[in-house]
Structure formats: structure tokens, C-alpha cells
């Protein structure tokens, strides 16, 4: 029993609110699937998108609606997969983190046999992953999927605002607007520039303003 409980390792979930999810052109399709559940074309769905695109947030919103349990793919074993407790729905966030491909394959089979709902997320399309088990690749390729696109400018603004808030910084909207128009539209780029601006502001003991942001962005571009 202890081994089974350890293998499932239900993830501790932070609180994700609907109001905190910014719906834009880059994620509207994926949000529609979550919002329209249980009207899915199948009992399983795969969300595909880069880190920070909103997959995990959407997974938590769906789990709240469906009463789904989160299963850690890195802790899944064949034994825990075939003896998992009966639940109406499951979430596997970041499927690519699965350590045992056989365990993941068995898990998908058991979920299908029990006609449970399943939402999965991945950072890339299954066809682009390096899973060696052919049956697993085939099973994942057969799952209906929805892609979250790279953040548009509106979403980048929301991401930047949140990253600054996390550091207890409230820059002028002009600062956010300037940055969003000049950096690569990825969460990684947003994190990099916000961290650099924060460090520069601390080093110079000044508030975050447009002049400081411009200097940091130009340095990162070189």
C-alpha cells in the first residue's frame, strides 16, 4: 500500500483562479475546451504548449470542475498504474516527465478501460518527443489535442505584470508596454528581463522606470 501511495504521489496544488487566467487569442481555443467540458469529442484531451503558456493553470481549472486527481508522471510505476484507485477523472501535467514509459502506457490503458476522464499536458507535440515505446507514442498520437500558441502581446503584458508583482514591483504601464513589444514572446524571456530589471534597480537603489527598463532590454539584445 505504501509503495502504491508513493507512486501516485498526488501533486500538492496551489490555488488557481478563473479570474487570474487571461484569455487571449493565443489560448482561447484551449480555454474553450476546458470551459465546455464535458462536451469533449473524447474522454481524454492533450494540451500542448511551451512552459508558461497556461497549460497547468487550465489543468487546475478543469480539475476543479471535474473533481480530477493529479498524478505525478515521474512517480508513476506499472504497479501503481494498474492498481490505482477509481476516480472519475485524472490529470497528468507535463507528460514528458514520465520516467517509466511502460507505467504511463499501462496508466492510459486503465483510464480508458474504466472510462475515466483524462487531461494531459505536454510542452511539445507527441510526435516530437523521444518516447521509445512505440505503443505509447501511438496511444498519445491518438489523443485529441489543442495547442496553446506563443503568448500574444496582451498575454505578454499580463505575464510581465504578474512577474513584477511577484517581486513586489509595480512599474508604470508604459514600462510594461515597452518591454512587451521588444522581447521574445516567451515566458523564459519575460522572466529573464524582469529579473535583470529587478537586479539593476536594487543595485542602483532606484525604482523601476522606463529609462532603466530601456537600458536593460537593450543590453539583453546585444
The residue segments making up the domain with residue 191 are 153-221
Query: Do 183 and 126 share a structural domain?
Result: no
pLDDT at 10: 45
Looking at the fold, whether 8 and 115 belong to one and the same domain comes out as yes
CA distances (Å), origin 199, targets 47, 53, 193, 215: 35, 25, 10, 13
Q: Provide the pLDDT for residue 47.
A: 97
Tell me what pLDDT residue 169 has. 93
Assess whether 130 and 164 both reside in one domain.
no
Ordered mean pLDDT values, 10 residues apiece, the chain (222 residues): 42 62 90 95 94 89 96 94 92 94 96 96 90 92 92 88 91 95 89 95 93 94 81
Q: Which of 102, 119, 147 is the last residue of a domain?
A: 147
CATH number of domain containing 37: 3.40.50.300
User: What does the CA dihedral 3, 94, 17, 24 come to, rounded to 10 degrees?
Assistant: -170
CA 197, CA 217: separation in Å to the nearest integer?
8
48 and 143 inside one domain: yes
**What CATH number corresponds to the domain at position 186?**
1.10.8.60
Q: Which of 170, 171, 168, 121 is nearest to 146 (CA)?
A: 121
- Record the pTM: 0.77
Residues 102 and 126 in one domain: yes
Q: Quick one: pLDDT at residue 130?
A: 84
166 plus 102 within the same structural domain: no
Number of domains present in the structure of the chain? 2
Amino acid at each position: 500500500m505504501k509503495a502504491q501511495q508513493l507512486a501516485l504521489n498526488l501533486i500538492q496544488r496551489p490555488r488557481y483562479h478563473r479570474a487570474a487566467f487571461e484569455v487571449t487569442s493565443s489560448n482561447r481555443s484551449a480555454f474553450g475546451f476546458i470551459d465546455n467540458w464535458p462536451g469533449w469529442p473524447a474522454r481524454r484531451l492533450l494540451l500542448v504548449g511551451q512552459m508558461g503558456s497556461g497549460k497547468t493553470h487550465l489543468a487546475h481549472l478543469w480539475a476543479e470542475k471535474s473533481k480530477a486527481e493529479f498524478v505525478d508522471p515521474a512517480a508513476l510505476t506499472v504497479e501503481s498504474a494498474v492498481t490505482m484507485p477509481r476516480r472519475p477523472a485524472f490529470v497528468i501535467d507535463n507528460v514528458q516527465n514520465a520516467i517509466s514509459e511502460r507505467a504511463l502506457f499501462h496508466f492510459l490503458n486503465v483510464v480508458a478501460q474504466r472510462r475515466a476522464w483524462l487531461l494531459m499536458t505536454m510542452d511539445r507535440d507527441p510526435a516530437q518527443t523521444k518516447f521509445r515505446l512505440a505503443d505509447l507514442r501511438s496511444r498519445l498520437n491518438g489523443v485529441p489535442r489543442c495547442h496553446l500558441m506563443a503568448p500574444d502581446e496582451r498575454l505578454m503584458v499580463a505575464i510581465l505584470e504578474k512577474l513584477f508583482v511577484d517581486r513586489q514591483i509595480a512599474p508604470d504601464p508604459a514600462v510594461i508596454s515597452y518591454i512587451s513589444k521588444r522581447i521574445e514572446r516567451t515566458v523564459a524571456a519575460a522572466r529573464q528581463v524582469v529579473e535583470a530589471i529587478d537586479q539593476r534597480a536594487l543595485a542602483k537603489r532606484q525604482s523601476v522606470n522606463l529609462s532603466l527598463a530601456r537600458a536593460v532590454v537593450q543590453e539583453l539584445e546585444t
